[in-house]
Amino acid sequence: MLDEYVFGRATRISQEAPVLVVKQQRVSAVPGGAANVAMNIMALGASVGILGVVGADLAGQNLEDSLVFSGIEKLAILKDPTRPTTRKTRVVANHSHQVLRIDHETEEPISSALEEQLIDALDKACEGRDVILVSDYQKGVVVGSTIEKIVALGKKHGLAVVANAKPESAKYYKGATAVSLNRFEASTAIGRMKPIEDSEAEDVVRKLQNELDIDTMIVTLGSSGMVATSKSETSKVPAVKVEVYDEAGAGDTVIATIALCSCQGPIDRSALELATFTAAAVVRKVGVAVPSDEDLRSIAEILR
């Protein structure tokens, strides 16, 4: 995805409708979605390659250019002329107040030919890697059959498979190393309309881990932290208390941190604690962001 921002100053209420009038001051665009996860991995000190699908449009070219500039290796960026590049355009007023988001996207599945190209490219790219990370946004690229093939490739190459999943696709991750859902997604996954309470989180995460047959199941709880369970233990860690400016992209930072920790062995409490600190670093910033070198030095001092 491409995350676009229109920054401006809220000046008044429009006479045409009860909405803010924002005087535009500047516009920016940064890698979003799976590309933001890749940016987080880079920020955390690892090398990363990316695979995905964009439209044959200016937004897709801008996204590719930004990836090249960032140093992320383009393993396979496939162009589909039948779909737009997924874009989220956010209007931000007075430095930090998001007043509107416009999504440009299609959720139609990619063709079987494109899926085959993507899986073939991933198979070839697995040599010398440590983990496959799947960023699942339900935009038509990561569908059930693709997920099952990715998990199979992980087993074939002896790689951890970690995913930021959606409740509709969670069942396809059977056999994965770690899968993360947020509070609301976990509620949907167990057939609940009402978001799960903090007190229910441990029971819910165990239920999902058993039903989905995943090594480690993680449910993030926003300001209440996160809970995870494996076949041997359950851990719950509180969130780091910070002044939150923008929660956009925090889940990307969490899953990037968990994926890197999975390279070192089973995901344990220390991995969750690290993820709460890296996530706290990005919610302090406006817009989708990644931890800075200064953030990481501060975290290292705290956890030393």
pLDDT (tens digit per residue) in 195-226: 999 999 999 999 999 999 999 999 999 889 99
Q: Is 80 exceeded by the pLDDT of residue 180?
A: yes
Centre a 10 Å sphere on the Cβ of residue 96 and count the other Cβ atoms it contains.
Answer: 12
Q: Is 80 exceeded by the pLDDT of residue 140?
A: yes
Helix (H, G, I), strand (E, B) or coil at 291: coil
Residue 243: its pLDDT value, please? 73
What's the rounded Cα separation, in Å, for the pair 170 and 287? 27
Percent of the chain with pLDDT over 70: 98
3 is catalytic: no
All structural domains of the chain with their residue ranges: 2-303
Q: Is 70 exceeded by the pLDDT of residue 21?
A: yes
Contacts of 228 (CB under 8 A, 6+ apart): 178, 205, 216, 217, 218, 219, 234, 235, 236, 267, 272
Residue 254: its pLDDT value, please? 94
The one catalytic residue in 3, 136, 215, 252 is 252
Q: Is 80 exceeded by the pLDDT of residue 23?
A: yes
Residue range 268-292, pLDDT digits in tens: 999 999 999 999 898 887 766 789 9
| Domain 2-303 grouped into CATH 3.40.1190.20 | yes
In eight-state DSSP terms, residue 137 is -
Centre a 10 Å sphere on the Cβ of residue 29 and count the other Cβ atoms it contains.
Answer: 16
Average pLDDT for 171-188 = 94
Residue range 24-69, pLDDT digits in tens: 999 998 899 999 999 999 999 999 999 999 999 999 999 999 888 8
Residue range 145-164, pLDDT digits in tens: 999 999 999 999 999 999 99
Average pLDDT for 86-100 = 90
